[in-house]
Amino acid sequence: MHKFGRRDVDDLDAFIKEVESQPSQTIGDVFVFVDECHRTQSGKLHRVMKAMMPNAVFIGFTGTPLLKTDRQTSLEVFGGYIHTYKFSEGVEDGVVLDLVYEARDIDQHLGSEDKIDAWFEAKTKALNDWQKLELKNRWSTMQKVLSSRSRMERVVNDIIFDFSVKPRLSSERGNAILVASSIYEACKYFSLFQKTPLKDRCAVITSYNPQAQDVSKEEIGANSETDKQFIYNTYIERLKDVEAKPGMTKTETYEERAKTLFIKEPANMKLLVVVDKLLTGFDAPPCTYLYIDKSMQDHGLFQAICRTNRLDGEDKDFGYIVDYKDLFKKVENAVAVYTSELDHSAGGVEPEVMIQDRLKKGRERLDSALESLDLLCEPVEPPKGELEHIHYFCGNTEIASDLQDREPQRVALYKAAVALVRAYANIADELEPAGYSSADIARIRERLNHYLNVREIVRKASGESLDVKAYEADMRHLIDTYIEADEPRKISPFDNLSLIDLIVKTGIAEAIASQLGGLKGNKNAIAETIENNVRRIIVKEHLNDPAYYEKMSALLDEIIAARKARAIEYEEYLKRIAELAKKVEAGHPEDMPEKLNTPGRRALYNNLNHNEDLALMVDGAVKTTRPDGWRGVQTKENTIKAALLPLLGNVAEVERIFLIIKKQNEY
């Protein structure tokens, strides 16, 4: 089953009650298989399913592990896992490809600080100080800075270069997806690609569908169109020659054609620019590269990067991830979740208890938020209308200092209103199960609307509201004109390491998986957990080659000390992780003599003071004297020890080296 419900239902709660009163009559045992059960089937639609067939057994399928953030709700709805198949197992079985990660950095700097300040002051002369600050806060965010035209042009040129030099892209057998942070940026990227060789072989696919009312009330600044107008105009231009198929809009027809070409004719659809769509459930074997210019995390990030790991012929060996947003630590987390062991037990708190506990806490937060606003507004004079609220929160307009003096009350009002909205949103779909009657629910919604209305009245009366649309085009011009970007540069030294090698085999994945249970948000605790797990790998291998892994321990100690001294920046962190992973995987230094070409010989060399001749003589003595099946048989082990004694000189040294020999499979 995929969906339960009717299209014409306005009040879903009433519809669920209607269905519950007359469930479908079924004969025999009914099993319902639910696809993508972690998404649309976990809320009200799940309640519809259960209401329609209350005695059925529901079995869910999902490509998404239960993360800590949604684990509680998911267990309430579906119960525990029946079976799991991890990403690393899929790679090992050859069902999907491993992934290769590359971080690229684009440095930015201001062209002229004086001109920026002069421009801003000229454009905001009519605003008060609060409004100027609000406008600055809206536009001086990292996201706005990263959306500058100069930086986006650098990203476009970087991708075009890859299409010229990367084998799968240049051969036209493979293609790519670019993930943008917003619909505006997706449209901007699309328009920039229209000036490159990818013109007509690139498409933009987002959740947007152009409607005239989207821009009919848009005010325009002095320079150009607003962001919303730019999005609308981009789509209208792109769709002007598209003829809608029966039952589909122009946008749907355009996107359907683009997806079909992307899957079946990669040479004719080389790049898709997306925001959220196609990042889950879209299987396109030719897709080889994913360019990420959007902050992502958890299963959303992992689902996205796995768009590139489908099998597609001998020339596709990996899926490639190019990251412009410094997401490696989040990639570590996501890969760890998808490769770690999951809790299959049915122990712990029963789902019925969990849901009651969560709803009880949700109700307490909502009641507390309403009570806080009631107390805050209690001093307002009767009849507590708009004017009385303005007088209390803004003061007397005839007294110049009143507005400033009443600022603490206004700040408290704004914060309390935000807390109320969040508390309500957390259980808005479950007010009745939380214990509220129909009359209570109507009263809560009325009070919510009342307090949000009060907040807006007070904001307008105090001059602490601002319609930023009128300034949007001017601020966009400022960002595009005065923020410059340098050429992208690669900062991740992971060329020959896949994510499985880099994160799973080093023990980092296990460390991150363990921290998800209790250390979330504590960066030092997470880092120390990773360090402890890497150290465990080193300790585990220590008997194979004590001398080498003692050096590895010293290297790890250096990394720990540097982190604690806050000396490792992001780029340096990536380098250190890569070096550590390579050394753990290799098990030997890069400058090892040529004749020491087996793990056993290298272990002997490392533990015999780097005496190459002695290591080779010991290796030869073991191989020429070892009896068949010698391990664990005292007389046979003594035969080997006797051959070693003339070479090593004393019994203690023979015993020390013999322990290392015993751990080497080649002997």
Residue range 335-352, pLDDT digits in tens: 776 666 544 444 444 544
| Peptide bond preceding 383 in cis form (omega within 30 of 0) | yes
Is 405 strand, coil or helix? helix
Q: Which structure tokens are listed for 275?
A: 């925001």
Q: Which structure tokens are listed for 92?
A: 């090992």
Instruction: Give the mean model confidence (pLDDT) for residues 462-475.
Output: 75
The distance from CA 22 to its chain's CA centroid, rounded to whole angstroms, is 43
Which range is least confidently modeled, 35-39, 249-253, 277-281, 529-533? 529-533
Residue ranges in 293-397 assigned as alpha helix (H): 298-305, 328-339, 351-377, 386-394
**Residue 59 near residue 31 (C-beta atoms within 8 A):** yes
Q: What is the pLDDT of residues 191-248, one digit of tens each?
A: 999 999 999 999 999 999 998 777 665 555 444 577 888 999 999 999 999 999 999 9
Give phi and psi for 33, each to the nearest 5. Answer: -100, 120
Residue 285 has pLDDT above 90, yes or no: yes
Q: What is the pLDDT of residues 126-150, one digit of tens each?
A: 777 777 777 777 666 655 666 788 8
Radius of gyration, alpha carbons of the chain: 32
Q: What is the pLDDT of residues 546-583, one digit of tens each?
A: 666 666 566 556 655 665 555 456 667 767 776 776 66
**Residue 481 near residue 111 (C-beta atoms within 8 A):** yes
- Residue 1: its pLDDT value, please? 44
Could you tell me what percent of the chain has a pLDDT over 70?
74
- Residue 417: its pLDDT value, please? 93
**Residue 601 near residue 595 (C-beta atoms within 8 A):** yes
- Residue 428: its pLDDT value, please? 86
pLDDT band at 60 (very low <50, low <70, confident <90, very high): confident
Buried b (16+ CB within 10 A) or exposed e, 618-644: bbebbeeebeeebeeeeeebeebbebb
- The Cα 380–Cα 389 span in angstroms is 6
- Residue 561: its pLDDT value, please? 63
Classify strands 287-293 and 483-485 as parallel, antiparallel or unpaired: unpaired
* DSSP state string for 444-511: HHHHHHHHHHHHHHHHHHHT----THHHHHHHHHHHHHHEEEPPPEE----TT--HIIIIITTSHHHH
Residue ranges in 499-625 assigned as alpha helix (H): 499, 508-515, 523-541, 546-564, 570-586, 599-607, 612-625
CB-based contacts of 441, cutoff 8 Å, min separation 6: 431, 432
Q: Please tell me which of 96-105, 174-183, 300-309 the model is most confident about, judged by mean pLDDT.
A: 174-183
- The Cα 400–Cα 263 span in angstroms is 67
Mean predicted lDDT score pLDDT of the chain? 80
Would you say the pTM of this structure is higher than 0.85? Answer: no
Instruction: Calculate ∠ Cα 462-465-467, nearest 5°.
Output: 145
Buried b (16+ CB within 10 A) or exposed e, 49-59: bbbbbeebebe
Q: Which structure tokens are listed for 269?
A: 């659809």
CB-based contacts of 362, cutoff 8 Å, min separation 6: 423, 426, 427, 430, 434
- Residue 461: its pLDDT value, please? 85
CB-based contacts of 95, cutoff 8 Å, min separation 6: 311
Question: Which residue has better confidence, 176 or 216?
Answer: 176
Q: What is the pLDDT of residues 426-456, one digit of tens each?
A: 888 788 888 999 899 999 999 999 999 999 8
Question: Which residue has better confidence, 377 or 13?
Answer: 377
Place of tokens 């998911």: 74
Residue 354 has pLDDT above 60, yes or no: no
- The Cα 68–Cα 66 span in angstroms is 7
